[in-house]
Structures are given as C-alpha cells and as structure tokens.
Amino acid sequence: MNSIRQTRFIAQNYPQLQGLRAVPISLGLLVITLWANLQHGPARDLTLPIVVALVGLGFYILVDRYYNRVYGRVKRNISRTELFLQAAGAILALIAFIIDNRNITEISLLGLVFAGVFAFTGFYYCRQAMAAFTINLILAMVLALLSLASLVGIQEWWSLFGVKYSLLAFSLLFGIFGVIDGIILHIYFTHSLPAIQEAA
Amino acid sequence: MSNVFVEIAALDKLLHEPARLSLMTALAACKSADFLALQRMTGLTSGNLSVHLSKLEDAGLVVLEKQFVDKRPNTQVQITEKGRQVTESHWQQLENLRRDAQKWQPE
C-alpha cells in the first residue's frame, strides 16, 4: 500500500496524472504546425490539418477510454483558483497570439504563456512527483529563455531549424514538450500506483 | 494509564484500519471515485475493497451509487459530509497523538 500522503496526492490529481491524454493533441499540433511551415502564402487546401485534427481527437477519445477502463474514473474537486488560472491562461494565450502575429514586441509572448502552462502544470499538479515536477520546470524555463532570447541579441533562432516564424517555432516546441511531458506523467502515474494485493 | 494510551484506545476502530483509512483519505481528496480507481489507488483486491466499502457505507461515511457506464456496471463512491468530518478529525487525533508521544516519558 502507498503512503497516505501519496494516496491523497494521487486522488487529488488522478485525471491530470494520466498524461497520455495530452499526446494525441500535442502530436496533432506538431503535424499541423509542420504543415503550416511548408505553406507558401495563405493555404488553399485545408484537408490535411482538418484530417489531422479529427484523427487527434479520435486518438484522444481512445486514450480516454483506455484510462477509464484500466484505471477507473475519479471526479476531482476543482478549486476556484484553478478555474480562474485556466481561464486566465486561455485569455492570455489568445492575446499573446494576436500580439505575436502582428510582430509588436521583440520577445515571444506566446512562448511565455506556454512556459506558464508548463510551470502551472508542475506546481499545481506535480508538486509531489519530483521527476515530473522537475521536467515541467525545465521545459518552462527553456520556453521562457527562448521567448526572451532576442533581448540578449539572439535573433530568429528558429530559422536555424528551418522554421519560418516565431509563432510556428513555439507551437512546434509546445507540441514536442507536450508529448514529452505526457509520457513522463504517464510513467509516474503507472509507477506510483500500488500493486493489487491482499490487505493484512 | 498515561494519556497517550488513553488517546490510542479512544481512536475510531472503524477508521483506524489501514485500508479503510487509506480509502477515506483518497475519497476525502476528490469529489468521487469509482470502484476500479479506488482499487488502483489502494492496491486492495476486489473482495477486500467490497468488504471495506460495505462497512464504511453501513457507518454512513460513504455513499455507493451503482450505475451503467458504456454498458458496463460501475460503482461510484462518494464520501459523505459525516465521513469527511470523521476523517479530518481522525487525522487531527493522530497528529495530536504523535505530538504527545514525542513528549511522553515512562513513569
């Protein structure tokens, strides 16, 4: 049996620790961003991104079913603070996207919001899962540093990797980091559950 | 008898059993959980989990709701207000005991 502290932590964050849910969505974002990077001018045929989005959604539903059938369902107590932070994050992401799209600032605001998402995940859901907590903070720091790189004279680092715009670069990184984070959370989740055995 | 031993003897036997305390702690940390999730979180076998849940239900500490999800039987378990209070108070008692035991000197 797990320690009571760990049991409480797992019960509090059960669905959030089921990291594979993020993988199809992150992979979908990754493929759509790569497709967007290959476009010259406004895209005329949107078949591929629509198909990728639908396939991603399909896989998300499959992963959700897998977790429910193998690990069961837990309904969380969602605090007002958590709801507020999630809503604020979504609004900030939209504002950052608009500002970055117009090249108003030198730094990438969307990159900073993405960094905030990983920092939030680390502090809010993974406080007691040291490996997942550390990885989330490292990913957040990498995104934050790259977002602010232009302030120390590093301009358009994304062009070194063949990416056309900063928006695409940060979307790609968010997709890649989302996959990494999802897999690590899943490994933590499955390893932190005790083996089923007879109680004393 | 020293106060520490009186306090230990006064602990709620229903809740003090490790498996049930683990179950109640998990249930107090979420809105509700189904049978499979509780089994995964505590490591109990289906038989043991059923017995413990029945005892907790009889004491009015949890509510069990049987339903069908995706055409499969599913038992949702939710802690009651009484269960939440009893669990919190039990943990408080254990914390007090720990503190008192550290101060305890054999006479």
- The pLDDT score that the predictor gives to residue A65 is 95
Q: Which two tokens stand for residue B87?
A: 């669990």
Query: CA-CA distances (angstroms) from residue A183 to A73, A99, A163, B75, B93?
Result: 20, 32, 25, 29, 40
How close is the nearest chain A Cα to the Cα of B36, in Å? 5
B6-31 confidence digits (pLDDT tens) = 777 777 778 888 899 999 999 999 99
Q: Do B45 and A71 touch (CB under 8 A)?
A: no
> Sheet of B62-69: strands edge to edge?
A74-75, B32-34, B72-79, B62-69
- Euclidean distance between CA atoms B58 and B45, whole angstroms: 20
List, for chain A, all residue ranges whose pLDDT scores fall below the cut of 70.
Answer: 1-2, 197-200
- The pLDDT score that the predictor gives to residue A199 is 47
Query: CA-CA distances (angstroms) from residue A112 to A89, A103, A139, B46?
Result: 11, 15, 11, 47
The one-character DSSP state at A122 is I
Which residue ranges form the domains of chain B, and what is each CATH number? Answer: 3-101 (1.10.10.10)
- Determine contact, residues A170/A147, Cβ cutoff 8 Å: yes
B38-86 confidence digits (pLDDT tens) = 999 999 999 999 999 999 999 999 999 998 888 888 999 999 999 999 9
Q: Do A12 and B30 touch (CB under 8 A)?
A: yes
How close is the nearest chain A Cα to the Cα of B5, in Å? 23
Domain residue limits, chain A:
4-192
Judged by a CB distance cut-off of 8 A, whether residue B40 touches chain A is yes
- The pLDDT score that the predictor gives to residue B106 is 66
pTM of the model as a whole: 0.85
**Chain A residues inside the 8 Å CB shell of B27:** 11
Q: Do B25 and A14 touch (CB under 8 A)?
A: no
For B71-74, the CB contacts below 8 A with 24+ separation are: B74/A73, B74/B34, B74/B35
A143-176 confidence digits (pLDDT tens) = 999 999 999 989 889 999 999 999 999 999 999 9
- The pLDDT score that the predictor gives to residue A200 is 47
- The pLDDT score that the predictor gives to residue A2 is 64
